[in-house]
Amino acid sequence: MKGSRAKTREPRPAAELNVVSAFQPVLPETYRETPYLFLANNPPSLQLSIIEQATHPKLIVCDTMDFWINEEREALEAL
């Protein structure tokens, strides 16, 4: 195994939530016409902001996890 963690057997750091909470993506004009959107596991409000920038998507796939289902259900249902 490569890397310093492999030599010391240190565990990987835990995932941190909300590291993109202040991130406000802006789709370039050329991307707004894409027919397909795949929105990875991000806050529902961030996913919705991307959906609203797309002009005529034919298929939208939103990934989610228990945290968003339990803590942000209303925002998730708005998608």
For 18-46, the pLDDT digits (tens) are 676 678 889 999 999 999 999 988 889 88
8 falls within a domain: no
Considering the domain boundaries, does residue 36 fall inside one?
Answer: yes
DSSP three-state, residue 58: coil
d(CA 51, CA 38): 10
Write down the pLDDT at residue 18: 66
Confidence of residue 47 (pLDDT cuts 50, 70, 90): very high
Residue span of the structural domain in which 78 resides: 31-79
Residue 76, domain member (yes or no): yes
Name the domain count of the chain: 1
pLDDT bucket at 57, cuts 50 / 70 / 90? very high
Among 12-16, 31-35, 63-67, which is the least confidently predicted range? Answer: 12-16
Does residue 9 belong to any structural domain of this protein?
no
**Any domain includes 26:** no
**Average pLDDT estimate for 38-61:** 92
**Best CA proximity match to 36, nearest among 58, 19, 16:** 58
62 in any annotated domain: yes
Q: How far apart are the first and last CA of the chain?
A: 42
Position 2 in a domain: no
